[in-house]
Structure 1
Amino acid sequence: MATINSFPGSPFQRALAAGIEANVPTAVIGEPGQGKTATMESATSGWGRHCETVIGSNREATDFLGVMIEDKGAIKYSSFQWVKNLNNAAKGLLLLDEFNTSAPSTMKGMLRVVQEGYVGDTKLNDTVSIVALMNPIETAVDAYDLPAPMANRMMHLKWVFDTSNWLENVGTGFQNTKPLPLSEMLAADPLSRKAAVSAAVTTFLKVNSKFLTPPVPTDPVKAGGAWPSPRSWTNVINVLSRLDRYDEESAFLVVEGLVGEGAATEYFKWLAAADLHDPAEVIDGTVLVDWKNERADRLFALVQGVTTRPRSLTGPCWWTGRTNGPTACSPSSRVSRRWAFPVAVSCGARLPSSWPSAPRAASRMWLSPPRRSSRTTCPTTSGACHSASPTPSWNCSATPSTR
């Protein structure tokens, strides 16, 4: 197992790298004079990304919307050179400097840029990431707390000054410094990792629903930072998926930076106690599961993780019985109706109709849904599957019979 000290770079650097690679807008706050802008511009170049720095304090809303022009009898918004430069590059990074000193009207103009990547009528490529730099309001010029809608769109990180790097390279003007490659700081297989992360987050929120849609903070300081919402939890899944599963320090910075310290603390306390299975290890047979005696929440998270994995990574063999996975939904197991029924529906909905094993897999999901159902018998097995409608939702071509 990897240890905390075995990862390259600092937890801050890895959390920032994960946000950039996940294409989740990231706000970095740090005291003035510590080289935030120069460091980010240099690192971006070293990562092979084109960087465009836009300073919010000297921009207006139209600088993010464009001006109306006529084009072949239709009115559209013009684009900008910095947008074209980013889109013409293989990969890019939009650096929004002095972010919290932007005029309120300018901040409104940047809402769609930050969330959807639209500048006027032009869409930034998916290969363009966004990082905003700002000083604390106490030391910035005419700064203010971010509006709640903008703050909730972003991951919030505190800048960590690299003292040793500065001492070693200031004498040479930082000419020989190279940033750590993003790939070295992040998970090797983010697609597989995302299945486990998504399962953990959704299971946590199923038993702690108060953290999914709590009221927006009324305190402007808290509203201008990280707080829980469906959007920020989605970003948690996307960014955490980029980190190594054992990189706990960076993981906490990510979750704290997206949903706040309180929700992050509760999530990691629950995660440690839950001791969830890794779907990839169960699928490849590294870990064996006692399906009939396992805790319901662990099974829910596991099957959720399997159903969210790309089909190319899961394959039909998992459903045909090698690991006997779908029996997690059987009445003989300890999975309660509260846990099993949503999972079974999810399993069935995600089974590709092209898989010959789909009816067999569906037939193994013996469960009693919350309302009266009809029994159907699969033509390929001697088992039976239940559906809340005459036609099973998992496309099992069986003939209904009287229960």
Structure 2
Amino acid sequence: MTSALLPTPADQLAVAADLLALLADTTTEPRPDPQLEALTLAVAADLPVLLWGEPGIGKTAALTQLAEELELPLTTVIASVHEPSDFAGLPVVGDDPATQGVPMAPPDWAVRLVRAGRGLLFLDELSTAPPAVQAALLRLVLERRVGALELPPGVRIVAAANPRSSAADGWELSAPLANRFVHLRWAHDHEVVVRGLGGTWPRATLPRLDPERLAEAVDLARRAVTGLLAVRPALVHRLPGNDTQRGGAWPSPRSWEATVRLIAFATAAGSSRDVLSLLVRGTVGDGPGLELLAALDRMDLPDPEDLLADPAGAELPGRGDLRQAALDGVVAAVRARPDRARWDAAWALLVRALETGAPDLVVVPATTLASLRREDWDVPPAIERLAGVVNLSQRADRAVAGRR
């Protein structure tokens, strides 16, 4: 009688299923996450993305959540366990190969993607795929073709890889394959992990592109990239010298074209500099990417002549390095066309910079400006406002005495 009341194995499995359902019941919340925003932006721009990170830090989980948020069916393909023919297609001999040829039959996952017309294709463990498989993946990533099928425009491609140091039997990515991806370093955030294990993960959302800024965004992106390459032609194509660097981001006409697209999307979405930096450096590499970011900063600087025309109402950049560059530009403008009114206006601008920012930023431009004083120019009262930073009156007098 007692044994009849004991739960059966089926009952216990049902309870276990209920417990698993509770553990899987999580929610999401808006949370600033530059790497997740960079991933979402690159996916929106329809560029293949490659996530680099150690095993077990949530690359697959991030892709699963992204697919759910974008309402795209997720198709996962483990690249390392496939043969080259799984991506190039298997030859199928028809009735008359001499006249009809031999078509290449695509795998079932490609057929499902074409039938759905949309989806997120996740190529996992890319760095453990042998060179022959990587070669077969070239056509898939670049031309979006698998066998005789062409993936529809609604399909996005994201891959994941572990660094060779932590990948089992890992291979360096071939340079042609690596140059087709936006490379994003994926790292775990302690607070995100702790909150996620508590049941709340950050939410991946599509960037909100401002329709009013589209033309401006495209113009800015094109001017920034072409402006840099015009003065740095060596950056147009620079193949790294070793296999490890060739397997990452490096500059080529292809990756610069992708960079133009990413800058345009980031600008139209109003993305932060951190997000833009991840995208640009992940496409053309750290060195060229940082040069491009510096060029973009210079494009955002206010015109020195506008600042001199209205020093009292001048809007100086908030970031310290940009503010320093703007003040240096003003001093350079006065040096190029010196007169008393412009010299006085520059001093007034330095006073405004002192009142609205870090005092040390005015020392170098103030010292240079003092050296530009002509013998018949009186020291303006504005200099007294800067006396606590640097003894400018004495420096100006010494500069005049040195010319006599």
TM-score (norm 2): 0.62
| Structure 1 residue 246 displacement after superposition | 5.4
Tell me the equivalent position of 1:209: 233
The answer (yes or no) to whether the contact 2:67–2:120 under 8 Å persists in 1 is: yes
Q: 1:142 aligned to 2:163? A: no
AA aligned to 2:235 is F
Amino acid at match of 2:286: E
Which residue of 1 is the match for residue 62 of structure 2? 39
Indicate the residue corresponding to 2:130 in structure 1: 103
The residue that corresponds to 1:55 in the other structure is: 78
Query: Displacement, 1:203?
Result: 2.0
The structure having more radius of gyration, on CA atoms, is 2
Matches of 2:63 and 2:222 in 1, distance apart? Answer: 30
1:351-362 map, 5 Å: none
CA contact (8 A) 1:187 1:242 kept: no
Return the letter of the residue paired with 2:219: A
Deviation at 1:232, TM superposition (A): 0.3
Measure the CA separation in 1 of the matches of 2:66 and 2:149.
26
- Structure 1 residues 21 and 72: alpha-carbon distance in aligned structure 2, compared to 1, 3 A threshold: farther
Q: Cα distance, 1:235 vs. partner?
A: 0.5
Q: Deviations over 1:332-351 (max 9, x none)?
A: xxxxxxxxxxxxxxxxxxxx
Question: Does 2:148 match 1:121?
Answer: yes
SS of structure 2 residue aligned to 1:241: helix
Provide closer, same or farther for how the CA distance between residues 70 and 226 of structure 1 changes in structure 2, counting only shifts above 3 A: same
Assess, with a 3 A threshold, how the Cα gap between structure 1 residues 128 and 191 changes in structure 2: closer, same or farther.
farther
**Counterpart code for 1:61:** P
Over the residues paired in the alignment, what is the CA RMSD in angstroms? Answer: 2.6
Equivalent pair of 1:94/1:129 in contact (CA under 8 Å): yes
Counterpart of 2:132, as a letter, is: S
Name the residue aligned to 1:255: 280
> C-alpha offsets along residues 350-375 of structure 1, whole Å, 9 cap, x if unaligned?
xxxxxxxxxxxxxxxxxxxxxxxxxx
Q: Answer yes or no: is the 8 Å Cα contact 2:110–2:151 preserved in 1.
A: yes
1:89-113 CA-to-partner distances (Å, cap 9, x unmatched) read 3531110100010011111110111
Alignment partner of 1:52: what SS? Answer: strand
**How do 1:377-392 residues align onto structure 2 when only pairs under 5 Å count?**
none
Partner letter of residue 227 of structure 1?
Answer: W
Structure 2 Cα separation of the partners of residues 262 and 271 of structure 1: 14
Amino acid at match of 1:100: S
Contact 1:55 1:97 in 2 (8 A): yes
CA contact (8 A) 2:125 2:161 kept: yes
2:197 maps to what in 1?
Answer: 170
Aligned length: 269
The residue identity in structure 2 corresponding to 1:250 is V
Among 184, 197, 202, the residue aligned to 2:221:
197
- Whole-angstrom distance in 1 between the partners of 2:78 and 2:224: 38
1:242 is the counterpart of 2:246: no
User: Does the CA-based 8 Å contact 1:51-1:94 persist in structure 2?
Assistant: yes
- Structure 2 gaps, min length 5: 1-29, 307-404
Of 26, 42, 49, the match for 2:49: 26
1:68-108 deviation per Cα after TM superposition (whole angstroms, max 9, x unaligned): 12457422111222112222335311101000100111111
Which amino acid is the alignment partner of residue 78 of structure 2? I
Contact 1:48–1:91 (Cα < 8 Å) also in 2: no
Percent identity among equivalent residues?
A: 33
Q: CA deviation at 1:165?
A: 3.5
Give the superposition deviation at 1:225.
0.8
